[in-house]
Amino acid sequence: MELDPDAIIIGAGINSLACACTLALKGWKVAIYEQASEPGGAVKTGEYTLPGFQHDWAAMNLSLFAGSTFHSYNSEKLADHGLQFVPSLHPFASAFPDGRWLGVSNDVALTTARIRGFSETDAEAWAKLTTGFPTEAETIFALLGSPMNLRAFTSLCWKTWRAKGVGGSLDFARFLMMSPRAWLDQTFESEHIKATLAAWGMHLDFAPDIAGGALFPYLEAMSGQAFGMVLGRGGAATVVKSMTKLLEAQGGAIYCNERVASINHSAGQAHGITLADGRQIRAKKSVIANVAPAALLRLTGPMGDARHEAAMKSFQHAPGTMMIHLAMDDLPDWTAPELKRFAYVHLAPSMDQMARTYAQAKAGLLPDEPVIVCGQPTVVDPSRAPAGKHVLWLQVRMVPGAIKGDAKGEIDAVDWTDVAEPMANRVLDILDRYAPGVRSKILGQHIVTPDMLEADNPNLVGGDQVCGSHHLHQHFVNRPARGFADGSTPIKNLFHTGAAVWPGGGTGAGPGTLLAKKLAGN
């Protein structure tokens, strides 16, 4: 690595790696500086409970990465460097207190038949959505993969108008602004079906009544049926390891355990960084910061643009997440045995419960019945555990980063160090309702609280795994601020990337890929 690389990237999350690899493949010399002991950010895998049990720290679902522009351009290279996927033909399901369940599988007839068991009318609605998905997907994926600048936005609007006409374009715009509840109430009659799909909104900070959230239940449902779900063989870290090797093969470097103290700039132009130990590294072309908005301002100081600085200071984060990693003697004995086939099982009984949970977490209260995402990766990837054993990945949505009280009135503590165990017991009590005796199968447990997530990765402010709310005021052209959704900043040669920048959170690496294409050309 040259002493002065072309580009310095702060943070080694998945967007940084995508950006670095894309630039390196264009001939740039790239150096990444990461404060943690390993790259990957929220995408990493480790033996957090017992030897031989591989757990995904935060992100597990790699479907967005598998379908991403970055992967499509580099799939052969990544495979050569060890990337391996495992598909799940049964991506997600929901279990309900009345003993019923609904699952979406990569089989249209099977999924439609399950829906027909709840409502013939809803089966007809589902069939209509399925038929229209290829056309709708073309528009949606074009939107999510488009830079949020005037030229690209104008081009996208023109193409949408030509494809859909005036009425169709206005209907699409209306859909993008709808809440999950509004769309689901308009589309289905069964409360079980509505809850099954609405649970996906909670993954991206969209409780049932939040405007702009309808897209995600629709997209996850239709994509899950069309493509299934993709996991990484051996753990999600297979993505990070292969990208790291690809970058290093192109002459790039990642320096871990290196905290960046400041971004050096003068006369409105960035020229390098200062590390915590005082060393200064110069960049020939660009400094790229994969950091939360408030952290960007801390690294630069005043940037010469009051509106941008105000947006960085006021950037809003989603409620926190709690993770519970379990080493298991066997899979849970679900009251519906068919659930043992699914990669995800949502425990989110109703839209009303989800709305209540979200409101409680936003108010700083520990929810009385949080939404639980129960990941069962060893169903499709036995390599993650010793023979005959399993791992469970429990994602608890939502919980407050800073606790003010307990909505259930049972937990008096307000510090996560003291709250972790009783809150985990609340979660396991809920799981036990749907899978009686589940505690008897637990061999090892590791709880990850919101403050632990943030300590490991400062971008996950308050345990917010998507690095910022995706509500309409902070999405599309407004992510992270109007005029800066393309990764630019008020300082020349300083760029912003990561989940806080359009197109936002997830494993799709969109922000990093779009920025690299902007810097190096398509």
Q: Which of 434, 236, 410, 451 is nearest to 336 (CA)?
A: 434
The predicted-structure confidence for 390-448, as pLDDT tens digits, reads as follows 999 999 999 999 999 999 999 999 999 999 999 999 999 999 999 999 999 999 999 99
Q: Which residue, 420, 369, 367, 424, is CA-closest to 392? A: 424
* Residues facing residue 275 across a β-bridge: 260
Return the closest-CA partner of residue 60 out of 219, 181, 233, 259.
Answer: 233
Work out the number of other CB atoms within 10 angstroms of the CB of residue 412. 10
Q: Report the alpha-carbon distance of residue 449 to residue 206 in Å, rounded.
A: 21
Residue range 265-285: mean pLDDT, rounded: 97
Residue 2 in this model has a pLDDT that exceeds 70 = no
Burial 12-48 (b: 16+ CB within 10 A, else e): bbbbbbbbbbbbbbeebbbbbbbbbebbbbbbbbeeb
Residue 277's CB: how many other CB atoms inside 10 A? Answer: 8
Q: Look at the block and give the residue holding tokens 């056309």.
A: 135
In terms of residues, how long is the chain? 522
Q: How do residues 143-175 score in pLDDT, each as one tens digit?
A: 998 998 878 778 888 888 888 899 989 999 999
Q: Are 9 and 288 in contact (CB under 8 A)?
A: yes
Residue 254 forms beta bridges with which residues? 32
* pLDDT, tens only, 17-51: 999 999 999 999 999 999 999 999 999 999 999 99
What are the DSSP calls for 166-216, one per residue? Answer: HHHHHHHHHHHH--HHHHHHHH---HHHHHHHHGGGGGGT--TT-TT-THH
pLDDT at 23: 98
**Arithmetic mean of pLDDT, 201-210:** 96
pTM over 0.85: yes
Buried-exposed string 374-384: b where 16+ CB fall within 10 A, e elsewhere: bbbbbbbbeeb
Of 486, 520, 478, 480, give the one whose Cα is nearest residue 500.
480
Give the integer Cα–Cα distance in Å for 229 and 89. Answer: 7
List the beta bridge partners of residue 294. none
106 near 93, Cβ under 8 Å?
Answer: no
Assess whether pLDDT exceeds 70 at residue 314: yes
The answer to whether 238 and 83 are in contact (CB under 8 A) is: yes
Residue 394 β-bridge partners: 324, 374
Instruction: In whole angstroms, give the CA distance from residue 16 to residue 19.
Output: 5
Residue 442's CB is within 10 A of a number of other CB atoms, namely 15
Token pair, residue 12, equals 């080694």
Q: Which residues pair with 273 in a beta bridge?
A: 263, 281
Measure the CA dihedral 170/175/178/180, to 10°.
170
